[in-house]
Amino acid sequence: MHSAWIGERHFSTLGVLSCPDVVLAQVAARTERIRLAQTVNALSLHHPIRVAEQWAMLDLLSGGRVDLATGWAAV
C-alpha cells in the first residue's frame, strides 16, 4: 500500500471521523513507509494557522510522510 487517505466526516451516514490527523498519527506510529493524508482539509471550516500547525506536527512525527490537500467549502 502506497498511501492512506482519510476523510473528515461530521454527522454523516458514512461515519464520524472529526479528527483525521489524530487517526493518521496512530497510523504513522504503526507504519514506516506509507504516505499519510486527509482527503481534503477544508480551510473554511478550520483556522488555517491551526491546520498548518497540526499537520506540520504530524509530518514531523511521521518522518516527513504527510501529504496535505486543502480546499475551501462554501458554507
In this prediction the pTM is: 0.80
pLDDT digits (tens, 9 = 90+) for 55-64: 999 999 999 9
Q: Would you state the pLDDT for residue 61? A: 94
Residue type, 63: G
Domain ranges in the chain are 3-71
pLDDT digits (tens, 9 = 90+) for 3-41: 988 887 777 776 668 888 899 999 999 999 999 998 888
Whether pLDDT at 46 is above 90: no
Query: What CA–CA distance (Å, rounded) separates 62 from 64?
Result: 6
**Residue 34 vs residues 7, 15, 29, 42, 65: alpha-carbon distances, Å:** 17, 23, 11, 23, 7
